[in-house]
Structure 1
Amino acid sequence: MSEFRKVTEETSHYRHLEKMSVTDVLQNMNKEDKTVPDAVAEAIPQIEKLVSAFADKMLAGGRMFYIGAGTSGRLGIVDASECPPSFGVPYGLVIGLIAGGEKAITQAVEFAEDSTENGWADLQKHFINDKDVVLGLAASGTTPYVIAALKECRKRGILTGSLCCNPNSPVSREADYPIEVVVGPEFVTGSTRMKSGTAQKLVLNMISTSIMIQLGRVEDNKMVNMQLSNVKLVDRGVKMVMEKLALTDYEKAKDLLLKHGSVKKAVQAMNGSL
């Protein structure tokens, strides 16, 4: 493997930010942010390999774990928490873990990411096994909490992936399916919550959404299994039912939706009665 270069810690292309006007700060940040989708596009072949492998395991009954620290860990928790309401999958199918535990979601927990034992211990709390898959999230690619957890997974035959923003990183060496999205130096030197965080969010969207499509949780372009957890989602669901069943009566469609609990089940019930 080529020499490891910590691009995420390299000096910003911009100097004396404190002397810039607000307009210049915003325009320059936006200029940098525009480069992120291009970096993600270059990683699509890596993402595709991971999605295909992870989806196969999940179709066979496995779960997906995200494990990370700091911003990376928080992004994993956000993505995992949005899968049940969006796609109607059970809580526990996609699980986000962060170094330092629940406190670390809102507060920095000092040195939590430096533990080489807690990552695997956190996975064990969920009785992880070789049916499951684990995606290690580390912008730097050097987080001990993540690297050690992936290493233990591989020892036990658990499929692993990684997502980082430095090329040829240590975390990639511990992953069966590494993804490296190299976005370059941050606008504020070393602040990986910026471009690196944006890149990770984009890739997590791609991974979870494409896997859910493979799991049959989307039909056409609709979230037909979404949870009906608020008025907005109920209204969206009613309109889907009306479209799929060619109904013009909103209240009838709403009654069907609420009776059966999801767009998919409501449509299946009506089609079965025809």
Structure 2
Amino acid sequence: MTSQRHDRRCAPMFMRFFGRTRRPETLSRVDWDRFIRARRSGKVAPPGVKKARAVGERIIEQDLRYLLAVLNWAMIAGDGRSGVLLERNPLKGLQLPKNESPARPILISEMYASARRAARDMDPRVELFLVLANETGHRGASIRRLRWADIDLERAMIRWRGENDKVGMAHETPLSEEATVLLQRERVRQGAIGETWVFPSRRGDRTGPITVNAARHLWTRLAERAGLPLGQRYGWHSLRRKFANELKEVPLRDLAALGGWKNPNTLLMCYQVGDPETQRAALASRKKLSANGIS
């Protein structure tokens, strides 16, 4: 779900929960905690949700960040009488719920091999999307918005536009031989160049790239065909985690640039995981510290 869509759904949910006539300055820690409990249990949900269901900490955190942003905006918005709508944010400083152990599954090599075999029997664009996700380590959102003008097959380089990137980072990365071969094949198949989408929508107008839902559906079809786990937060992003861990020995700065991570620390905090083989190798190569230095 996009942030704009989330925000549009949040406003009526909060008004229904707190009451349309509730004055924002009267909100308190009690209301904060009450909302968290209700959201966790599924007793409160955005409009349009027909079946109540419990949600995780991440969604609740997004909801409350929206509420805090609205209250902060009210502190600088004029009330038409030389004042502001809200003197202070009554919820400022309250702790947001956090999932200390979020599920971040990684697609391992054997699973990727199964997916690759399944993709070959499906649609050429499914195979291309899969290979680009594996070979570039980039987000699915950036991949689905690629244009042929972003692909330089002669130099084997790919341009990632800032407007298509989650963190707004414009950058270029090299293409692997495997990705280059598939891109050449797809360009011939499409007969397209310039600003044409690499993954055009299959709707009647074909004026845009495939949608978020279409890309998600491609993954679901692929996972079913390949026998991959469903409903366990794998998706295209599991290939980004695969990329981060398979290239763990690459200098952190270079790996961040290669996969489009603006902050290298994100790799350490959210993507890379420790493994026994690397740890054993580190112990085997351990040196001794003495008065004369390390030897």
Class of the TM-score when normalised by the shorter of the 2 chains = under 0.3
Between Structure 1 and Structure 2, the one with more strand by share is 1
**TM-score, with length taken from structure 1:** 0.28
Work out which of the two has the higher radius of gyration on C-alpha atoms and give 1 or 2.
Answer: 2
Q: RCO higher in 1 or 2 (8 Å CA, sep ≥ 6)?
A: 1
Give TM-score scaled by structure 2 length.
0.26
